[in-house]
Amino acid sequence: MRLYESNDSILAGAELAPILNSVTVTVGDALKLSHASNYGGADAADAITDRIYSICVGISDESGISLVNLTATTDYDGTYTNALSGDTYVAAADNVTDKKIQAQMIPIGNHIIEATLSDGSGTAQERGTTTGSDQIGYYLSVDTSDSTMLDETSASTSSEQFIIVKNHPIDSTKVLVKAVEMQRYN
């Protein structure tokens, strides 16, 4: 997922939060803020019951330097994978107290988000395959196997994490959504 456009005149700046120990975060993930082992930090919103706080737009050290520019084991522990589809970081078991690798995240607020639809298992899916997944006003949930995508098979008229506000103008596997179930509001 990525920010598509904003109703605000200026996009909010990215916030930094340490990635919780042993958590996997990918650029494009819907994120939540969580608390574990006496520390708070970023975690992938990878369950349909998770409230959404932000979208991950980068992964960095505490000063904002991207992991692609840092040295493994010296500057960060855990596993970092640089990819065109979105960099991924699997945090070390002591990330919040040792290297403190951060998720760069934009709180979603009123932002429109471009989201790729999946078949429920992380593979891109055409919108409209499930009734309503191509309809404004239908709701969708995050794909629990890939939190950078929305599960096309979850399309429903009952409230879910995101609401479709428009179909993507070019790509038939994407929709434009707004977050409904947000950590900041409910």
* Predicted pLDDT at 151: 97
Residue 166: pLDDT above 70? yes
DSSP assignment string, 41-95? EEEE--STTPPB-EEEEEEE-TT--BGGGS-BTTTB-SEEE--TT--EEE--TTT
Residue 69: pLDDT above 60? yes
* Predicted pLDDT at 109: 81
Q: Does 127 lie in the same domain as 97? A: no
Assigned domain for 17 exists: yes
Assigned domain for 4 exists: no
User: Which tokens in the block code for residue 81?
Assistant: 């994978």
Domain stop point among 107, 128, 144: 107
Domain stop point among 85, 107, 129: 107
Assigned domain for 6 exists: no
Task: Residue 120: give the domain boundaries.
Answer: 112-179
Q: What is the pTM of this model?
A: 0.90
Q: Is 165 helix (H, G, I), strand (E, B) or coil?
A: strand
pLDDT in tens, 48-62: 999 999 999 999 999
Q: How many whole angstroms separate alpha carbon 179 and alpha carbon 143? A: 14
- Give the pLDDT mean for 132-155: 96
